Structure 1
Amino acid sequence: MDPDHFAHVAKLLHEQIGTVIVGQKELVHQAMLCLFTEGHLLIEGVPGLGKTQLVTVLAKVVGLDWRRIQFTPDLMPADIVGTQVLISDRAGGRSFEYQPGPVFTSLLLADEINRATPKTQSALLEAMQERHVTAGGETRPLPRPFLVLATQNPIEQEGTYPLPEAQLDRFMLKAQVGMPPAEELAAIIERTTGDSPPQAQAVTDTDEVRSMIELTRAVPVPSHVVRYAAELVTATHPGVGTPDLVTQYVRAGSSPRGAQALILAAKATALMDGRPSVSIDDVSAVARPALRHRLAMGFESVIDSIDPDIVVDAVVQSVPTGEI
């Protein structure tokens, strides 16, 4: 596969998803970035904005198996990774047999992930990071590709358990879904209240998706672009020479995973544009979704209404874009 074919397939995917999902171009783009890099995506937005539907449509157009887990306070880790079940045979013998959980799929939708207890949330940690789970005394690999798309509601916080920083860090990108404008809302109403809602068609298959992931990993990155990503992450930490907004409002900056996310997402961005190499503009274009959830904001940010995106923008503006 070459970059031109990669860009062609990505365009077809955009078009097919667009037959069902109205607007939300930034969300669709970030979901595709995670698909091509086998990264995980955290989607934050109020109910009814198409977060869940996006996952179902994405799975269909790329031909991947998918499953949904509705996170609730009574959900247990075994409900995710699977458990040992006592099986009786015809001869009257009994033995334990492992029954895989819904995590054994290519595309996992973790719906309202912040409604489950921390113990259950942590059951996803090993799967998201290592691409395998340990259950029944054995380590069991997950299918590849494997990515988690999780949703959470930022408004209704009663009875929820905010994700700890360690788990937030395992999401490559965080997408924020806003209310669509009136014209897009009218189009949504027309599409979803008729007798024949639009259906997306499959564009590619699992083998081609694997090839696209391999090509993304193989994209070369100039040394000055790598250094630029490193400088961005370093600038998110309070200290001498960092932007004033960081010093004033950030308690702790991004982890090294933030730099990895910047480069991987930039690689996919370049390929979706048909280019075989990564530029600094590709890195800065993905700075918000790659870093916004990796900043530990202080309480002063709430008082002054400073959200992480404002801080990330200040960091991007503060780091020189020449060959560092």
Structure 2
Amino acid sequence: MSKRRERFTAYGSAVLLVLGTLTVTSAATATAAAAPNPQDLCGKGTAIKLDRSAFPRTPEIENKWFPLEPGTQITTTGTVFSPAEGTTQKRTVISTVTGLTKMIDGVNTQVVWDRDFTDGELAESELAFFAETKKGKGTVWLFGEYPEEYENGKLAGAPSTFISGIDKALAGIAMLDHPRPKSPAYPQASAPSVDFLDCAKVLKDDQRVCVKTGCYNDVVEIVESNPLEPLSSAGKQHKFYSKKTGLIKVTAEGGDDQENMKLVKIKKLSSSELKSINAQALKQDSRGYTVSKDVYAKTPHAVVAESSSHSGRSLRNDS
């Protein structure tokens, strides 16, 4: 896990494994190779091989652990503790699945808009891009992020932007189709130009976790770390996911900035609310062509998905 604000995304004997379209090299074919493969991002046998044909033309993300239905908005709240400074800040993240899609690295992705508030002030506004395989039984991939940073209410830039296919950045797995403790570690994305590399490993399943929105008995715990940074400063993050809900809790294990967050609200937007969200996200998408000329400006513009204008069937206000 990198030092960047979080989204609301093993060495040993190698065997042939396919996680969605993440190809792992078989030890039987690599016994003569003594030197490590530089493409193994999260340990031996974790090189990424992106198969664009594995994704549908129109993104539809129905992974039970990572559902992204347009018009869904979740709010998580908590704190960020900095041991070195002895300070604790309040944090709120509002994550909305927009009705937008964007072509990234040859794959049509679903656009998610996250707004991150620290002590009540906007600190980051991020567009993130996801797609789910049609042949991988529902493996969700992350294709990039455009995170705008704000200081004292003013846009300060987006230096941590990364897009798969640009500056050697690679898409990675945001969620496995069937996350289990026996699943090998996997890279969630890689962007060398911004020192971004998230490696994930499923620790436990079938846990019971209670948050403000309720108690969940089917929770999977996943630990994330960034091998590019010293463990003492980067630490690890533990994320807890429930079926049909997604992320419900985040805890920290060491590190300079220790985040502890819990899900507090799930809302289904009305058609008019989704239209407003789409307009705001499109405005940020357009701004990215000026703010990030070397990276984001090289991507096609996001567009309103045709289906989103007819999605009122499932977009209603919470009672």
Band of TM-score, shorter chain: under 0.3
Higher relative contact order (CA 8 A, sep 6+): 1
Of Structure 1 and Structure 2, the greater helix share is in 1
